[in-house]
Amino acid sequence: MMELLTAEQLDKFTVQVAGLEHPRELIIDLLRSVQDNHGWVPDEGVALVAKILGLTPLEVEEVATFYDKIFRQPVGRYPIHICDSICCWSRGGDALATHLREHLGIDFGETTADGLFTLLPSCCLGACGRAPAIMVGQNTYGPLTTDDADRIVDALRQEAQG
């Protein structure tokens, strides 16, 4: 969980970079790999990506801070993205968000004390036909009642313990 890039990943990217005319095109792949391993992208992750690509940390940061799904701050093991766009909103997205906030005892942008969940508002998840929807990590769920949402959270808690 804490490693930024595995030895294999490092080798793979180094080889890839050497073969590319514009290594910079790998920047999102690298940031996402660091995030997959580490949960979020710490300063050292930005520096590592910069080193691999021959960029400065600032040049990587310029890109990293643009994207929503690159976390430059610690998040819980399961970041929960709650869709607040129009289709989900029209079918109870707000209520679902309020419920999850109460159920988890955290507000948007916060992480539960056990380090498991972070609640994040998100734009449309491309699940508009299944509204209201949420995305946990990269898995999308919907349509959800508040009970469904509780079950998902409970299952993840179990997964984390087991």
**Binding mask 26-65 vs ligand FES (x if CB under 6 A, - otherwise)?**
----------------------------------------
Structure tokens of 16? 């890839």
- What does DSSP assign to residue 85? S
As a whole number of angstroms, the distance between CA 161 and CA 131 comes to 30
Residues 81-100 that bind ligand FES (CB under 6 A): 83, 85-88
Compute how many residues bind ligand FES; rule: CB under 6 A.
12
As a whole number of angstroms, the distance between CA 162 and CA 160 comes to 6
What torsion, rounded to 10 degrees, do the Cα atoms 46, 47, 49, 50 define? 120
Residues that bind other proteins (CB under 8 A): 21-22, 24-29, 31-32, 43, 46, 53, 55-59, 61-63, 65-70, 84-87, 89-91, 123-131, 135, 138-140
- What does DSSP assign to residue 41? -
Q: Which residue, 60 or 131, has its beta carbon nearer to ligand FES?
A: 131
- Beta strand 117-122 with 78-83 is parallel
Q: Which residue, 42 or 132, has its beta carbon nearer to ligand FES?
A: 132
For residue 37, give the amino acid letter.
N
Q: Which residue, 89 or 101, has its beta carbon nearer to other proteins?
A: 89
For the bound state, the minimum distance from the C-beta of residue 137 to other proteins, rounded and expressed in Å, comes to: 9
Interaction between residue 120 and ligand FES (CB under 6 A): no
- Beta strand 117-122 with 134-136 is unpaired
